[in-house]
Amino acid sequence: MSKSKISNSINIKNKRAKFEYHILDTFVSGIQLGGTEIKSIRNGKASILEAFCVVERNEVFIRNMHIAEYSNASFYQHKPKADRKLLLNRKEIQKIQKGLETKGYTVVPLRLFINDKGLAKLEIALAKGKKLYDKRQDLKEKDDKRSMDRVKKDYRV
């Protein structure tokens, strides 16, 4: 298996983020990781479902991202839920900081992937929480689309 096939197969998504939040702006950032952390991510043993981002001292960190311990490691293991630094440029960090100052805005991870060069990248989004009626509307639209697709499929046959 070539290196590019391995990198394209790792694509861990946060499916609840688009349901829970209105996505306003997206950023792709690198992650500062240790040796056993990247190996666990390449094995697909990571979760960003409960993760969120914070800005401290003009640096962005991701909290609650779970990276399972690497099974083949010796005595050195990483902490599964440790804070990890995100690698963004100054303009992106300032944009995120301004967004977080607004009430109701947060930064959520959308997907964790390995790029073509074999580096772990995290797609994050500046988002605003949805109200209950917005979520109901999304579910209604999803059901309508599903029924329309079903009708189209029956019509073709």
Domain extents in the chain: 3-132
> Considering the entire predicted model, what is its pTM?
0.76
Mean pLDDT computed over 134-144: 88
| Cβ proximity of 123 and 28 under 8 Å | yes
**Better pLDDT: 144 or 36:** 144
Residue 19 has a pLDDT of 83
Is the model's pLDDT at 7 over the cut of 50?
A: no
- Which residue reads 């996505």 in tokens? 23
| Cβ proximity of 97 and 60 under 8 Å | no
Phi, psi torsion values for 18, nearest 5 degrees: -75, -20
Q: pLDDT tens digit string along 43-81?
A: 888 888 888 899 999 999 999 988 888 877 777 777 778
Mean pLDDT computed over 12-39: 87
Residue 33 has a pLDDT of 87
Q: Class for domain 3-132, per CATH?
A: mainly beta
| CA distances from residue 8 to 11, 14, 23, 26 in whole angstroms, order as listed | 7, 17, 24, 20
